[in-house]
Amino acid sequence: MVAHPVARRNGQERHCDAILSIAQPGVWYGDNVEEARGLARQLNEYGAKLVRDYRGRFGLFAVIAPPDVQGSLKEIEYAFDTLKADGIGLLTSYQSKYLGDPSFAPVYEELNRRKAVIYVHPTTPDCCRGLIPGIPPSSIEYATDSTRTIANLVFSGTAMKFPDIRWIFSHSGGTLPFLTGRFIRLANERKPANLPDGPLPEFGKFYYELAQGNTPGQIAALLKMVSISQVLYGTDYPFRDGAEVNRGIAEWGFTAADQRAIERGNALRLLPGLKAG
């Protein structure tokens, strides 16, 4: 389990410190439905046990595999109703399918009904493995895959069709903040009916966490796209630690109120259940 989006400890409060989620490669390998279902159940029960054993320390974003619609629906019910998960964790892509794929609609219908939070972590896309010798996919493709899936959700109309889902994206949205001009132009050229005001209002509704997205350039671009209310603290632990994002936040020079919102307030507003425990 990865402790990724984080609501930081505030003084002596005993509120949730971190939300556990599964990162790449996830549980879906495209050829064994029963194995994926069993692995998802095992991981979700393990995460829920950590939440119980360390009460007040952790929350849980349960893992599902959207290409397996029936398995996902069963696991959503179990995760929320039995395990009391705080949300669902997805990857940016599943083989050739991105998160706006129409085959995932029944999964989103249920999550929309539950007004669920979905946290999205990037993975290595099938299209782009080992393209540049000496440069691993994590250096380029993770950020790019986040952008692909966000664009797919918005331009396909999926995000607007299921408006009660709250989406969190990793790493300050990957390369999305740097490419908004291109997406604005695309919308102007194609004039999609689902984007009468262009893509920026939709991008601005999502939440973005700062793990590996906290350099001055990344923060500046992100804050041109969204308000402080949509920015969350994140670490990518155990792959990175909190010192990195703490340093980025401190060096940016947020006001005290904005820093409190990023480090805790926004997360508790999005997930009020984290106050429990």
Rg of the chain over Cα atoms, rounded to whole angstroms, equals 18
| Lowest mean per-residue pLDDT among 7-16, 220-229, 239-248 | 7-16
Distance from C-alpha of 260 to C-alpha of 221, rounded to nearest angstrom? 20
pLDDT at 89: 98
Judge whether 228 and 252 are in contact, CB under 8 Å: no
pLDDT at 3: 54
Distance from C-alpha of 208 to C-alpha of 174, rounded to nearest angstrom? 9
- The DSSP letter of residue 262 is I
Domains in the chain, start-ordered, CATH in brackets?
A: 2-275 (3.20.20.140)
Placement of tokens 């797919």 in the chain: 152
pTM, two decimals, is 0.93
* Mean pLDDT, rounded, for 213-225: 96
- For residues 19-49, one letter each, b for 16 or more C-beta atoms within 10 angstroms of the residue's C-beta and e for the rest, the string is bbbbbbebbbeeeeeeebbebbbebbeebbe
